[in-house]
Chain A
């Protein structure tokens, strides 16, 4: 081979990508050709220099303030890890379940950011509370929700044997997120019992949890 052909194969030579015959041919040439030998040494030195580049580089500015703002917003919602639920209810269902949690949290976050603005109306089978409804309606809604949730949780408990421990942990973590949101709405209602927007948010949140549980039960059966 000519020097030009040898140099065109030097990368493959140093990376060990040549066949044994090709390797021997290049090596033989390098042993007898100082310019090509020099080229090979320079290439190896360059590759070694690149491999020794610092592992860390710091950005020119502090990214945390912007990042923290994003994490406090809708993007900061925890998602269902695919490694857990995917094995159980499939990737499409994971996406759907994640969307439920994200939608729920977005509603909560929107309310937290602008308490004067009512969250958008959510479809429901748990009876929605009318704006300005008396507290007794709220209590009825709470009872209705508790009954529906208990039934669904019982169904999930019955299927518990089919769940991997980590899957169960993921499910529990997501239910905890929803329950946290419910607890915060209830606490806010205790401070401001007449706030109709909060009452509406409570029923909407109830419905979201019921919908999420229904979906889990249904998908686990199929």
Chain B
């Protein structure tokens, strides 16, 4: 860690490889897209490198990286939504939350991660943060800027859609 903090890229690569699996898993589940998740994971480690001097070692590096990863994934979603809203002129926010055209394939019956790709982005983010990562609705509301009630509604919707897709 000290070497990486001093600017040693090889030392940072060791830290990167030790933590990539967790960072990528969160990015992939939040983004619902493998290619986008690769970009997000890289962004997380670029930010981590830039801010590594502020890591004091009070907690595990993985714990330090976790909120950073959530922020990167949520920021990307917000900017994507802004881009979409500039293109799609509508007053109906639900229009941006409709499921993507991509549907779960037959293998989704045994693969929750693949089924996650089919969820509307807002519902997917809340579901991952609550049911996979263990955040409370109040925390999710603060992070995503939605009301607590909206967070709960998104979670219930995500569970229903996933269980339908997975036939559970």
The yes or no verdict on A and B being binding partners is: yes
- Chain B: interface residue total (CB-CB under 8 A): 39
Complex Cα–Cα for A166 and B9 (A):
23
Find B9's partner among A17, A66, A68 (CB 8 Å cutoff).
A68
> Is A11 in contact with B37, judged by CB distance below 8 angstroms?
no
Q: Is the CB–CB distance between B132 and A51 below 8 Å?
A: yes
Which of these, A11, A61, A63, A83, contacts B159 with CB under 8 Å? Answer: A11
A67-B16 in contact given A55-B25, A57-B24 (Cβ < 8 Å): yes
Report chain B residues within 8 Å CB of A82.
54
Report A-chain residues with C-beta under 8 Å of the C-beta of B52.
78
Whether A63 pairs with B42 at a CB distance below 8 angstroms is yes
- The secondary-structure label for the interface of chain B is helix
Chain B residues positioned under 8 Å from A12 (CB to CB): 152, 156
Contact A64 B13 (CB under 8 A): yes
Q: How far, in whole Å, are A72 and B16 apart by their CA atoms in the complex?
A: 15
Bound Cα distance A45, B41 (Å) = 30
Q: Which residues of A contact B168 (CB under 8 A)?
A: 42, 45-46, 49
Measured CB to CB, the closest approach of chain A to B126, in angstroms, equals 12
1/0 contact trace for A1-28 toward B, CB 8 Å? 0000000000110010100000000000
Q: How far is the CA of A46 from the CA of B112 in the complex (A)?
A: 10
Question: Given A63-B20, A67-B16, do A53 and B132 touch, yes or no (CB 8 Å)?
Answer: yes
Question: Is there an interface contact between A11 and B156, defined as CB atoms closer than 8 Å?
Answer: yes
Measured CA separation A77–B50 after assembly (Å): 6
Complex CA distance for A68 and B113, rounded to whole angstroms:
28
| CB of B46 closer than 8 Å to a CB of A | yes
Other-chain contact of B21, A51, A56, A75, A81 (Cβ < 8 Å): A56
Q: Number of contacting residues on A, CB 8 A?
A: 41
- What is the chain B residue whose CB lies nearest that of A66? B42
Q: Does B96 contact A (CB under 8 A)?
A: no
B143 beta carbon closer than 8 Å to chain A: no
Flag if A57 contacts B131 (CB, 8 Å).
no
> Which residues of A (44-90) have their CB < 8 Å from a CB of B?
45-47, 49-51, 53-61, 63-64, 66-68, 70-72, 75-79, 81-84
The docked-state distance in angstroms from the alpha carbon of A51 to that of B112 is: 11
Chain B residues lying within 8 Å of A99, measured Cβ to Cβ, are none
B21 & A50 in contact (Cβ 8 Å cutoff): no
Does B53 lie at the interface of the complex (its beta carbon under 8 Å from any beta carbon of A)?
yes
Q: A67 with B113: in contact, given A11-B155, A50-B131, A55-B21 (CB under 8 Å)?
A: no
Chain B: minimal CB distance from A176 (Å): 9
Known contacts: A57-B21, A81-B51. The answer to whether A46 contacts B159 by CB under 8 A is yes
Residues on A with C-beta less than 8 A from B25 are: 54-57
Q: Which residues of B contact A11 (CB under 8 A)?
A: 152, 155-156, 159
A67 touches B45 (CB 8 A): yes
A217–B54 CA distance with the chains assembled, in angstroms: 22
Knowing A71-B49, A78-B50, A78-B53, the reply to whether A58 touches B42 (Cβ < 8 A) is: no
Whether A58 and B53, one on each chain, are in contact in the complex, defined by CB atoms closer than 8 angstroms, is no
Query: Could you mark each residue 153-166 of chain B with 1 if its beta carbon is under 8 Å from any beta carbon of chain A, else 0?
Result: 00110010011001
Do residues B163 and A46 form an inter-chain contact, with CB atoms below 8 A? yes
> Roughly how many angstroms separate A88 CA and B146 CA in the complex, as a whole number?
32
**With A12-B152, A42-B168, A83-B54 as contacts: A55 and B22 at CB distance below 8 Å:** yes
26 CB contacts below 8 A, A to B, read: A11-B152, A11-B155, A11-B159, A15-B152, A17-B152, A43-B159, A45-B168, A46-B163, A51-B134, A55-B21, A55-B25, A56-B21, A57-B113, A59-B28, A63-B41, A64-B16, A67-B16, A70-B46, A72-B9, A75-B46, A77-B50, A78-B52, A81-B53, A81-B54, A84-B54, A166-B56
